[in-house]
């Protein structure tokens, strides 16, 4: 047995075997989804080539283009092939081609075909130019962040959910005034099930605001204006999941978002999105986020809302290992992988605080370079706002003591209704009090050898280890079928969006993947 490491006395040999099993699982996933693309991935290519807008009946032009090629049986070669050829034959830009197709003036598949090499060269040049343009915007954003200064971690992550983008701006400014570091605009309920992205600003949404590029631009401009006038940079986040996750990644890149919730398993488990569809879209969406420096948030915290937090802890840790490896395989470095965790043990459980502390410290020690996204108690909050505020105080204590990277603030009215802005202010005040009072607590604490916290963490790691070895044997798809995560079962041949999966043909080409794969974004040797 290797010498134990860290405050929890974890066995490095077990950790290494967990990482190896996660690599094996990720390799199996890559093999299972190879040779396929999706309509949303192809629409992402058009967006990164600069295509935007909608037709007379409000169908987004990326959908118009991809549907045009798909209906004619040509999408297996990739939308880039047809756009590249059309650029050569007509001299038009991708945006002009989309408008011509939408107007019924052009059939991309009827044009004379140029030589494949020439097509690839032309569309790659166009794509590279757009990627340079977006990268330039992110360089300006990094300079702005350095000039205005970043807040110390844990970064305080606050949700807005009015349904009206202009009202979201009001709430976001209030959040910034109260000390929030990241503003996250919740999407309208069930947008993840739409196989298109609405176009333009929106003022109606249920439980949140539609994720559109116009809404992203409005929020970004408002927060940049606030940041400049107050000398403090405020980050923006949205939800890059569902049937359009890679498109939302592209939109967020164009508009300079800093963070994106980006996890296929959430959509697979809780929105019944087909497993293969979700994982293909996730691979490309994470590639886009990784390339531009956008931090992704994974969704392990959601398992604890449908499964018991004590019993499900090993599945959370196992999923973190898998999600971490899948993200690295898409080129996302550790500094941008905000793995999910949550403070969800029911309040009456004896020593529940110690068990929560063990889980949070375990995640922190297993993934020391990842800015873990820590979620507040929600499942067992029953409308007693005093009890909820007390639970949030304990959550805040564990957050700062274990050095989490990003913290979604808890609010007293959790479990009653979508919180008002003053509820969020109360939540931020609680966070500030505890963070200031216990800023260096983690540096002062060592855990009793063989005590409750060490024992619990080691037991969870052992359970995750056994689970990872099992998943490596049967594969992730079968593990999902067996309700391994969140007590929810999904079948590989069922689920929403399955009709949007397309088998690629010989010669299939995706310039986005090719160009983004050139720089090695993740250093695999660091966990070898």
Nearest residue to 82 (alpha-carbon basis) of 51, 60, 36, 55: 51
Nearest residue to 98 (alpha-carbon basis) of 129, 67, 135: 67
Active site residue 301: yes
* Candidates 195, 233, 334, 373; catalytic one: 373
* Candidates 199, 233, 266, 291; catalytic one: 266
Residue bearing tokens 């009072």: 437
Q: Please state, in angstroms and rounded to a whole number, the distance separating the CA atoms of residues 150 and 133.
A: 24
* Candidates 301, 341, 392, 423; catalytic one: 301
Q: Please state, in angstroms and rounded to a whole number, the distance separating the CA atoms of residues 290 and 305.
A: 28
Q: Please state, in angstroms and rounded to a whole number, the distance separating the CA atoms of residues 341 and 48.
A: 32
Q: Please state, in angstroms and rounded to a whole number, the distance separating the CA atoms of residues 44 and 28.
A: 25
DSSP 8-class letter at 242: G
Angstrom distances, CA of residue 266 to CA of 33, 112, 228 = 18, 44, 35
Please, which contacts does 127-130 make with residues 24 or more away whose CB atoms are closer than 8 Å? 127/45, 127/48, 127/49, 127/80, 127/511, 127/512, 127/515, 128/511, 128/515, 130/48, 130/49, 130/50
**Would you give the end-to-end CA distance of the chain in angstroms?**
18
Q: Are 243 and 195 in contact (CB under 8 A)?
A: yes
Q: Are 38 and 500 in contact (CB under 8 A)?
A: yes
Q: Are 161 and 191 in contact (CB under 8 A)?
A: no
Active site residue 373: yes
Q: Please state, in angstroms and rounded to a whole number, the distance separating the CA atoms of residues 41 and 46.
A: 9
Q: Please state, in angstroms and rounded to a whole number, the distance separating the CA atoms of residues 378 and 414.
A: 6
Angstrom distances, CA of residue 45 to CA of 93, 101, 148, 326, 483 = 14, 17, 33, 21, 34
Residue bearing tokens 């063989």: 450
Q: Are 481 and 492 in contact (CB under 8 A)?
A: yes
Catalytic residues: 266, 301, 373
């Amino acid at each position: 047995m290797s010498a134990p490491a860290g405050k929890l006395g974890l066995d490095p040999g077990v950790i290494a075997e967990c990482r190896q099993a996660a690599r094996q699982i990720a390799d199996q996933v890559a093999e299972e989804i190879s040779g396929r693309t999706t309509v949303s991935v192809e629409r992402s290519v058009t967006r990164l080539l600069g295509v935007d807008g909608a037709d007379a009946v409000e169908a987004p032009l990326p959908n118009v283009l991809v549907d045009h090629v798909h209906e004619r049986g040509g999408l297996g070669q990739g939308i880039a092939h047809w756009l590249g050829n059309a650029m050569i034959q007509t001299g038009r830009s991708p945006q002009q081609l989309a408008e011509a197709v939408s107007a019924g003036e052009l059939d991309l598949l009827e044009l004379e075909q140029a030589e494949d090499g020439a097509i690839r060269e032309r569309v790659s040049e166009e794509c590279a130019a757009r990627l340079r343009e977006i990268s330039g915007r992110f360089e300006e954003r990094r300079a702005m962040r350095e000039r205005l200064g970043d807040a110390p971690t844990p970064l305080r992550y606050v949700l807005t959910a009015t349904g009206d983008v202009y009202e979201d701006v009001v709430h976001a400014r209030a959040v910034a005034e109260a000390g929030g570091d990241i503003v996250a605009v919740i999407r309208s309920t069930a947008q993840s099930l739409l196989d298109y992205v609405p176009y333009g600003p929106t003022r109606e949404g249920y439980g949140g605001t539609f994720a559109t590029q116009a809404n992203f631009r409005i929020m970004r401009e408002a927060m940049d204006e606030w940041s400049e006038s107050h000398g403090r940079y405020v980050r923006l986040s949205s939800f890059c999941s569902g049937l359009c996750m890679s498109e939302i990644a592209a939109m967020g890149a164009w508009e300079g978002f800093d963070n994106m919730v980006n996890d296929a398993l959430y959509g697979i488990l809780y929105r019944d999105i087909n497993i293969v569809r979700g994982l293909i879209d996730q691979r490309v969406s994470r590639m886009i986020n990784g390339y531009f420096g956008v931090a992704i948030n994974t969704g392990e915290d959601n398992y604890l809302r449908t499964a018991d937090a004590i019993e499900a802890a090993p599945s959370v840790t196992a999923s973190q290992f898998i999600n971490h490896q899948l993200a690295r395989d898409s080129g996302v470095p550790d500094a941008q992988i905000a793995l999910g965790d949550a403070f969800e043990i029911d309040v009456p459980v004896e020593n529940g605080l110690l068990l929560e502390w063990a889980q949070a410290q375990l995640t922190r020690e297993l993934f020391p370079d990842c800015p873990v996204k820590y979620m507040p108690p929600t499942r067992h909050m029953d409308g007693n706002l005093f009890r909820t505020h007390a639970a949030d105080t304990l959550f805040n204590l564990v957050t700062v003591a274990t050095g989490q990277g990003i913290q979604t603030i808890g609010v007293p009215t959790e479990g009653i209704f979508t919180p008002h802005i003053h509820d969020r202010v109360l939540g931020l005040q609680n966070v500030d009090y505890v963070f200031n009072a216990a800023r260096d607590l983690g540096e002062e604490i060592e855990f009793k050898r063989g005590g409750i916290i060490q024992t619990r963490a080691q037991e969870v790691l052992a359970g995750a280890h056994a689970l990872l070895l099992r998943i490596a044997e049967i594969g992730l798809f079968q593990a999902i079928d067996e309700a391994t995560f969140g007590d929810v079962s999904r079948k590989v041949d069922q689920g929403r969006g399955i009709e949007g999966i397309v088998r690629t043909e010989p010669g299939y080409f995706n310039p986005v993947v090719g160009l983004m794969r050139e720089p090695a974004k993740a250093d695999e040797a660091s966990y070898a």
